[in-house]
Structure 1
C-alpha cells in the first residue's frame, strides 16, 4: 500500500485517449462481473435442483464469491502499484474468465464453491484496479462525470443479467450462464490491450503480509459462521467457533493496522470525514440493498412458481431504473448536495424494499416491474453519491490505499446482504414450521432488509451540508454567505 506519509508520486503523463473512453473500456470488467452476479442469482433455483440442495442454502455459491472478493481486495492496491495497473487489470480479467469456465463445469456444491472463490480472486483485482486506473487520470471536478461514465456501461450487466440468465437457464441449462463470460472476457482483454495506456509499476514497499493474513482470516471465518449458523449443515459448534474466531482475528487485524506504517488497510483514512461516511455508513445501506437482488428472483420462482425467464424479465427492472438515473445524478447532486441526497434516498429506497414485502401472486407482473424500477432509481442515486463522496477528499497519493479499503467494504456489504436474506428466510421458515420458504417468509426478509437500509439514515445526518461540494458543485447556504 502507499505509505500515508510518503510524498505524492510523480504525475502520470497525459492520456492520449479521452477519459470517457477509458472509463467505458474499464467498465467492461464491471459489466462482466455484474452480468455474472445478476444471471447467477436468476439461475440459482435451477442450479440447486440439479445439484440436489435447497435453493436458500445454495446462497453459499454467491457468498463464497463475495467473501473471496472481500478477502483479496485489500492487496489489490499494492499489486497494482507493484506490477502496473494495466497489467494487473488484464490478468484479473483472464482469471475471472477461466474461473467462469470452471463454474460451468462444476458437478457438486464444493466444486462450485471452489470455482467461485477462484472467480472472486479475479474479481477482487478487476473492480478496484479499474477504478484506480480512472481516478489517477482525472481532476476533482471531473470525478462525478467520470464515475457516471464508469458505472453506466457496467449497469448493462444487471439489466441484461436477469433476463439473459433466465433465458439461458430455460433454453440451455444453468451452466451456460457462466460460459457467457468467455466471449465477454476475450473482448474486454482486447479492448484493454488496445486502448488503455500503459501505467508503469512503482515501488510501494513490501506488502503488509501479517495484516493481509489477519484480515483474510477474520473475514473468511466470520462469513463462514454467519452463513452456516443454525442451518445444520456443519458439525455442532463449528459455526459459533467461526464467528468467535472471526471477531478475534478482526480485533487483531485492527490493532495491527493501527500500529504498522504500511498497513493492509489504512485505517487513518477514516479520519477523512467524507471517506468515512461514504465507506462505513454507506455499508449499512449496501447490506440492506444487497439482499434484494437475491430475494426478488427467489420470490418469483420459489414463492410465485414463475419460470427463470419470467423471473429474469421482472428482476431486471431494478437495474433498468438504476440506468435511467445515471444521467440525472450529477444535476441532482449539484442542486441538493450529498447530505440531502443520501438522507432522502435512504428513506425512499427503504420504502421501496418494504413495498416488496406486500408482493403476492395476485399482483400483476407489470406493477411489480414498475415498483422495482422505481426502487432502482433511488438506489442508483444513492450508490453514485456514496461512491463519489468516498473519494471526494482523498489525496492522490493515497488513492491506492483508499480504493482497496473502499473496495473491501463495498464487496463485504453485498455478501452480508445475501447472508441477511438467507438467514431471515431460514429463521422465518423454522419458526413457522415450513419445509421451504413461503411468500410470508419472503415478506419478513424484505422488511428486515428495509429496516437495515433505513438504519443508515441517522449516520448521514452527521454530514456537513457542504460535504464534497468541490465534487458535486453544490454550495450550501452557509457557504454562499461566507463567500459573500
Structure 2
C-alpha cells in the first residue's frame, strides 16, 4: 500500500517539475512563444488548489480505494490528452484534467496511510511516502530534458501511462476499500467562492500587456476576486460546516504564516519556470543540459532538510525565518547575473544555495503555519495551507513570466528582461521577511539551546 501511495505522489511531483525544461520545445511545436505557455503550468497548479479541499470528502463519500483509482485514471487520461494536443488551448484543457486527478493523489494517499497504518508506524510510513516529494523534483527536470532531446516533448506525458496502469492494477489488488457513505455535508458554495477568488486573482495578473483595456480587465477581475473572498466571510458564519472555519484565523501565527507563505513562494514558484527558459533561450543550453543544471537545487534541498531542526532549536523560528528569507531572496536575485560565459562553478553554487535555503524555508514555514492549530482545526488548516501553496506556485509562474514579457516589450530585447524579472521576484521574496517579523515568537515556544 505504501508503494502505491508513493507512486501516486511521485507522479504528481514529477509532473509538476518535468514540464518546465520542455516548455521551449513545446512552444516551438505548437507555434507559440515560450512565455505564452504560462497557462500550461498555471492550469495544473490552480486546478489542484481548487479541488484539494474536496478530496477528503470524496474519500469519505465513495471510499478511499474507489476515489484513488479514479484519481490515477483521470491523471493518466489527462496525460494522454496532453501528449496528443495540437494547440495551446487543447494542452491547457488537458492539463486541467490532469490537475483534477493530481489534486487527489497526495491527500487521498495520505488519508489511506492514516486509516490503515498503526499509530506507532504512522510517522515512519509518512516519512517513506514523503521521499517521493524529494525524488520527483530531482528526476523531473533531468528526465524532462532528456526525453525532449532524445525523443519529443510528448513523452514527458506519455511516461505517466505505464506507471499509471500499474498503479491502477495495484490499487485494485492491495489498497483497502475504506468506508463509504459516511461523509458530512460538503460546503460546495464556500469551495466555489474561494475557487472564484483564486481564479479571478490569477487572471487579473495575467491579462496580456497589449490587450485592449488591459488595465480595466485587471481591475475588474481583481474586484471579483476581492468580492468573492468577502462573500465567504458571512457564508462561513452562517454555514454549519464551512469549508474553512473563521476560527482558524484567530491563531495569529497561522494567519502570518499563510500570508508569508504566499508572498515567499511567489519567488520560489517563478524560479523553476524562468531558469530553464533563461538557460535554453538566452544561454544556449540544450534541454538536457538545462535539466542537469537544476540538479544542485534538488540535491541541496534534500540534504539540507536535516539542518532545519537544530537551526530552529538554536535560534528560534522567528529569527531563522527572518535570516533564511533574506538568503532565499538574495539567491533568487543573484540569478540575474547569469549570462553567456558565466562560470559553471559559480552557477552551481548559486543553485545549491537557493535549493538548500528554499528547502529549509518550506519546512520552517510549514511548521510555523500549522504548529499552533488545535486538533479540531488541524485538518482544515492543512487543507487551506495546501491551497495557498498551489496558488502561490501558479502566481509565481504568472508574475515571473509576466515581468519578462513586460520588460521585453519595454526594452525590445529579452536578455535584460530575464535579469530584471529575477531581481523583481527576488525582491518580492525579500518582502516576506517583513511578514515573518510579525510572528509571535513566544507562542511558537522553540527549544533554544545555549550558544
Q: TM-score, normalised by structure 1?
A: 0.84
2:418 maps to 442
Q: Distance in 2 between matches of 1:76 and 1:231?
A: 39
2:299 maps to 320
Equivalent position to 1:83, from 62, 81, 92: 62
Q: Distance in 1 between matches of 2:289 and 2:219?
A: 39
**Residues 66, 372 of structure 1: CA spacing in aligned structure 2 closer, same or farther, 3 A cutoff?**
same
How do residues 311-390 of structure 1 correspond to structure 2 at under 5 angstroms?
A: 311-390=290-369
Q: Distance in 1 between matches of 2:230 and 2:155?
A: 42
SS at match of 2:224: helix
1:277 maps to 256
Work out whether residues 274 and 390 of structure 1, in 8 Å CA contact, stay in contact via their aligned partners in 2: yes
Q: Deviations over 1:145-182 (max 9, x none)?
A: 77654433221111111111111001111000111112
SS at match of 2:371: coil
Q: Deviations over 1:247-285 (max 9, x none)?
A: 322322344234322122333222233433333321211
**Residues 330, 314 of structure 1: CA spacing in aligned structure 2 closer, same or farther, 3 A cutoff?**
same
How do residues 177-192 of structure 1 correspond to structure 2 at under 5 angstroms?
A: 177-189=156-168
- The alpha-carbon deviation at position 305 of structure 1 amounts to 1.8
Q: TM-score, normalised by structure 2?
A: 0.90
Equivalent position to 1:300, from 279, 284, 303: 279
Instruction: Please say if 1:59 is aligned against 2:38.
Output: yes
Q: Distance in 2 between matches of 1:233 and 1:106?
A: 29
Worse-matched range after superposition: 412-421 or 146-155: 146-155
Q: Deviations over 1:20-71 (max 9, x none)?
A: x84x753433321221121111000000111111111111111111221122
Work out whether residues 324 and 361 of structure 2, in 8 Å CA contact, stay in contact via their aligned partners in 1: yes
**Residues 259, 68 of structure 1: CA spacing in aligned structure 2 closer, same or farther, 3 A cutoff?**
same
Work out whether residues 64 and 176 of structure 2, in 8 Å CA contact, stay in contact via their aligned partners in 1: no
**Residues 275, 77 of structure 1: CA spacing in aligned structure 2 closer, same or farther, 3 A cutoff?**
farther
Instruction: Please say if 1:475 is aligned against 2:447.
Output: yes
More helix by share: 2
- The alpha-carbon deviation at position 211 of structure 1 amounts to 1.6
RMSD: 2.9
Work out whether residues 99 and 118 of structure 1, in 8 Å CA contact, stay in contact via their aligned partners in 2: yes
Q: Deviations over 1:360-409 (max 9, x none)?
A: 11113343123202210111111122223333343444444223211111
How do residues 30-179 of structure 1 correspond to structure 2 at under 5 angstroms?
A: 30-134=9-113, 149-179=128-158
SS at match of 1:106: coil
Work out whether residues 353 and 447 of structure 1, in 8 Å CA contact, stay in contact via their aligned partners in 2: yes
SS at match of 2:38: helix
Work out whether residues 76 and 404 of structure 1, in 8 Å CA contact, stay in contact via their aligned partners in 2: no
Aligned length: 449
1:260 maps to 239
Instruction: Please say if 1:287 is aligned against 2:245.
Output: no
Q: Distance in 1 between matches of 2:210 and 2:100?
A: 27
Work out whether residues 318 and 436 of structure 2, in 8 Å CA contact, stay in contact via their aligned partners in 1: yes
SS at match of 1:456: helix
Q: Distance in 1 between matches of 2:396 and 2:184?
A: 35
Gaps of 5+ in 2: none
1:6 maps to none
Q: Distance in 2 between matches of 1:380 and 1:146?
A: 21
- The alpha-carbon deviation at position 347 of structure 1 amounts to 1.3
- The alpha-carbon deviation at position 240 of structure 1 amounts to 4.6
